[in-house]
Amino acid sequence: MIKNTNIVKKANQALVLDSIMKNKKITIEEIMNQTGLSRTTVLSILKDLSEKKLIEKRGRVHQSVGRQPVLYALSRDEYFVIGVDVDVAPIYLNIARLDGKSVYSRQWEVSLNANANELESALIKNIETALSVAKISRKKIIGLGLGLPGIINVNQNRATEISRIRGWKEDNCIAEVLEEKFGFPIYVRNDTHLLGHMEVTSEGENMLYILHRSGIGMAPVINGEVYEGTFGNSGYIGHTRVDSKGKICNCGAKDCLELYCSKRSIEAEYEHASGKTSGYDELISLAEEGDPAAIKIFEHAGHYLGIGISNAMKTYDISNVVLGDLRCDENHVFYQQILLSVKQHMVNVSIKEPTVILSKYTKEMYGLGACQFVLENFFEQPKLHTNIDENGGEWLENESL
């Protein structure tokens, strides 16, 4: 028996919102058809959502006979979300509308040697600039997703360690500092997990999103949702062991995957082999132009990244992979070598041929994954479970975030 009518109301509201979000613009009749709710219920929910300024009327259906039904859509200018993707040194920021569309993007550099205080000041300054340039009041911001490349504790909304940022302390409370400053909620998450949110293309999808940067991260997407793990660190494959050469990683362990194939290690390998210092993007071009040292290094790196990816594919029984931030095309030796290595290491263990594709997102969109995360939280549908004891059962609402 459903005792709590509030839960039913929330569930119905979630159905209506879902139908508006999926259709972009929709009539009352269509909402009724899609949700199975009565006209009275739909009208009452639409009134409620309009009062909260979450939805608005946007035009009418043009038809030659009869009345022209009103179309409803998510509000365009009432609420926004901010997403920040910290890939030291570049930091990417996007502001998005309720429908997830980006209305503003910004990118800035911090010094490779930036310490925690410098990072914090740069974040504050650039968020202020973004709001001012985009002409959006902070009162209209629902929340900000902050992706950090470190060890996260989602229960405390903190990053307990970021090895790339000097002076980052276990009790660093960047979320509290930004919340105090701006007055909207801040969500600290793993950078790769946030980017993974924008790669989900269908409900129920299983996929591994691998982010190739100065470290290597992964977001396992299970049944269409990013699986965060107990503390928000699932998919920490950059620090899984792939060899026994005894190379020491900055995490303190030996032979971690990222020592063999991250952007930073590719740059270091090239410097070691040629005596020349080149950035990752330049090395991608050099390999395309036929530079033998660059080609060899990408072959080597691709081989190891393929091992890391296939280990994850076997662990999760997931055969679809999306590679983020590789910054090359499908003809590049790096991508080709990754593909080859994955196929070699998946022989006899996969039912379906593994697919490894390149993400279509470019750096102007890297903040959008965090925007997507904040929106998913905001529009989260009520999760219900039953509580059955000797007196019978009742529906309860799960406590969410």
Question: How many Cα neighbours within 13 Å face the side chain of 253?
Answer: 14
Question: Quick one: 189 or 239, whose CB is closer to Zn ion?
Answer: 239
Q: Which stretch binds Zn ion (CB under 5 A): 44-52, 239-247, 287-295, 316-324?
A: 239-247
Closest CB 111 distance from Zn ion, rounded Å: 23
The residue type at 397:
E
6 Rama class: left (phi>0) / alpha (psi -120 to 50) / beta: alpha
Question: Quick one: 48 or 161, whose CB is closer to Zn ion?
Answer: 161
Distances (CA, A) of 25 to 34, 39, 71, 213: 13, 18, 6, 38
Q: How far apart are CA 380 and CA 276, in angstroms?
A: 51
Question: Quick one: 248 or 349, whose CB is closer to Zn ion?
Answer: 248
Closest CB 303 distance from Zn ion, rounded Å: 19
Within the chain, how many helices (H) and strands (E) appear? Answer: 12, 16
Instruction: Check whether the bond before 159 is cis (ω within 30° of 0).
Output: no
Q: Which stretch binds Zn ion (CB under 5 A): 36-44, 98-106, 200-208, 232-240?
A: 232-240
Question: Quick one: 265 or 359, whose CB is closer to Zn ion?
Answer: 265
Closest CB 333 distance from Zn ion, rounded Å: 26
Q: Tell which residue, 237, 345, 258, 339, has the closest CA to residue 269.
A: 258
Closest CB 342 distance from Zn ion, rounded Å: 21
Q: Which stretch binds Zn ion (CB under 5 A): 13-21, 127-135, 249-257, 296-304?
A: 249-257
Strand, coil or helix: 333: helix
Residue choice 45, 165, 186, 256 for contact with Zn ion (CB under 5 A) = 256
Is 219 a residue that touches Zn ion (CB under 5 A)?
no
Closest CB 157 distance from Zn ion, rounded Å: 25
Distances (CA, A) of 281 to 271, 292, 310, 327: 14, 16, 25, 7
Question: Quick one: 253 or 273, whose CB is closer to Zn ion?
Answer: 253
| Total number of residues that touch Zn ion (CB under 5 A) | 5
Question: What end-to-end distance do the CA atoms of the chain give, in Å?
Answer: 26
Q: Determine whether 357 is exposed, middle or buried from the number of CB atoms within 10 Å of its CB (0-12, 13-18, 19+).
A: middle
Closest CB 212 distance from Zn ion, rounded Å: 15
Question: Quick one: 257 or 295, whose CB is closer to Zn ion?
Answer: 257
Residue choice 249, 297, 321, 322 for contact with Zn ion (CB under 5 A) = 249
Q: How far apart are CA 263 and CA 259, in angstroms?
A: 9
Neighbour-count burial for 272-287, b at 16+ CB within 10 Å, e otherwise: eeeeeebebeebbebb
Q: Which stretch binds Zn ion (CB under 5 A): 47-55, 144-152, 189-197, 241-249?
A: 241-249
Closest CB 247 distance from Zn ion, rounded Å: 9
Q: Which stretch binds Zn ion (CB under 5 A): 113-121, 128-136, 250-258, 310-318?
A: 250-258
Q: How far apart are CA 6 and CA 148, in angstroms?
A: 37
Question: Quick one: 243 or 288, whose CB is closer to Zn ion?
Answer: 243
Closest CB 10 distance from Zn ion, rounded Å: 44
Strand, coil or helix: 367: coil
Question: Quick one: 249 or 323, whose CB is closer to Zn ion?
Answer: 249
Question: Quick one: 54 or 249, whose CB is closer to Zn ion?
Answer: 249
Q: Which stretch binds Zn ion (CB under 5 A): 88-96, 256-264, 299-307, 320-328?
A: 256-264
- Torsion angle of C-alpha atoms 324, 326, 331, 336, degrees rounded to 10: -80
Is 239 a residue that touches Zn ion (CB under 5 A)?
yes
Closest CB 251 distance from Zn ion, rounded Å: 3
Question: Quick one: 157 or 233, whose CB is closer to Zn ion?
Answer: 233
Residue choice 251, 268, 357, 384 for contact with Zn ion (CB under 5 A) = 251
Is 164 a residue that touches Zn ion (CB under 5 A)?
no
With beta carbons less than 8 A apart as the criterion, state whether 386 and 373 touch. Answer: no
Residue 108 is given by DSSP the state: E
Residue 56 is given by DSSP the state: E
Q: Which residue has the tokens 């660093």?
A: 172
Closest CB 346 distance from Zn ion, rounded Å: 24
Strand, coil or helix: 215: coil
Q: Using CB under 5 A as the criterion, which residues of the chain lie in contact with Zn ion when the complex forms?
A: 239, 249, 251, 253, 256
